[in-house]
Amino acid sequence: MNEELLKILKSQGYQIVGKHSAVKTCHWVRKAITKGEICYKGKFYGIKTHRCLQMSPSVVYCTNRCIYCWRILPSERGIIWNGNSLSEEDDPEFIAKESIKAHRRALTGYKGNPKVKKEVLEEAMNPKHVAISLSGEPTLYSRISELIEEYHKMGMTTFLVTNGTRPEVLEKIKEPTQLYISLSAPSEEIYKKICRPVYEENWNKLIKSISLLRSFKCPTVIRITLLRNLNMEEIDDYARIIKIGMPKYIEVKAYMHVGCSIWRLEENSMPTHEEILLFSKKLAEKINYEIADEVQASRVVLLKS
C-alpha cells in the first residue's frame, strides 16, 4: 500500500492488517459500549452492536469513486496509485485472526473507563458479527469466500456489503450470513454522476449482480443511499430494478454529510428522515413491500417483502 495513504489511514483511526486489509471501530460500537445504545442494524436484524467488528479486506481499493463516500479517495490527496486491484494478497486465515486482534487493540483504551461495564467490554473484545464493509470493494479480494468461511469457523456471522460491480464473484461466492448490494442510482446516467465508475461496464454489472440475488438462500438486502436533488425522483426506475432481484429487505437511507464527503457535497444534499420515509412509502407501494421499521436518528427506513 502507498506509504502516504497508509499514514493518512492510521491518522484516521484505521488499524491496518497485513498488506491490504483494515479494521476501524464503528462509532455505534463505541456508543454501545459506553451508553448501551444500539445501531439500526441491531434494531432491524437483532445483532449485538457492541459485538460487531467492522473491517475491509481491500481498504480503499474500489471500482467506483462515489461522491457520497465518507472514506478517503486517494486522488483527492494527490496520491497516484492503482486502487482498482490487489497485486499481492494475504491469506484469509491471517486476515480473519489479525482483524480480531486489531479490533481488540482499538478497544483497549476502554479498560478502566468508569462508563464501561467490564462484562460489556469483555463481550466486545470477542466479536460475534463482522461487517465486511468498512472501505473499498471487498469482492476485489479474490479469496473473499475463504475469508467468509474463516469467520464462520470462528462462530461469527458475516454481513457482506458490495457495490455489485463484480457479479462473477457473486456467482461463485460462499454465502455470507447476509448480503447487501448498494443501489445508488435509478439509471446509468445518474449512476455515472454519483458513483463515478472506474469501468464503463459497471452499471451493467450492477444490474447483473442484482439479478443474482434471487439465487441466494441467505437474507439479501438492497441498500439505497439518497441524496437530495440527485437521485430521489425516479421511483418507478428504482422499482423496476428492484423487481429484477427481489431482495428480502430494502434499506432506504439518507446520505450523511460526514467524513471526506463534505469536500464533494453540500450539507443540503442530506435528506431529512421525513423525506426518506415519504420516498420509502412510495417505493413500497410500487413493489408491494411493507415498511417494517425505521430509525430516525440514522435517517433510515427498512422495507420487507
Strand order across the beta sheet in which 15-17 lies:
15-17, 21-23, 52-56, 129-132, 157-162, 178-182, 220-226, 249-254, 300-304, 290-295
Residue 116, strand partner residues: none
Task: Enumerate the known binding-site residues.
Answer: 26, 39, 52, 62, 66, 69
Angle separating helix axes 273-287 and 235-245, nearest 10 degrees: 60
Angle separating helix axes 235-245 and 202-212, nearest 10 degrees: 50
- Is 261 within 8 Å of 285 (Cβ atoms)? no
59: left (phi over 0), alpha (psi -120 to 50) or beta: beta
- Is 280 within 8 Å of 249 (Cβ atoms)? no
For residue 282, what is the enclosing H or E element? helix 273-287
Q: For residue 253, which amino acid is it?
A: K
CA-nearest of 199, 213, 91 to 142 is 91
CA atoms within 13 A on the CB side of 254: 23
Place of cell 459497471: 202
Q: What is the number of helices (H) and of strands (E) in the chain?
A: 11, 10
CA-nearest of 298, 302, 268, 255 to 283 is 302
Task: Enumerate the known binding-site residues for [4Fe-4S] cluster.
Answer: 26, 39, 52, 62, 66, 69
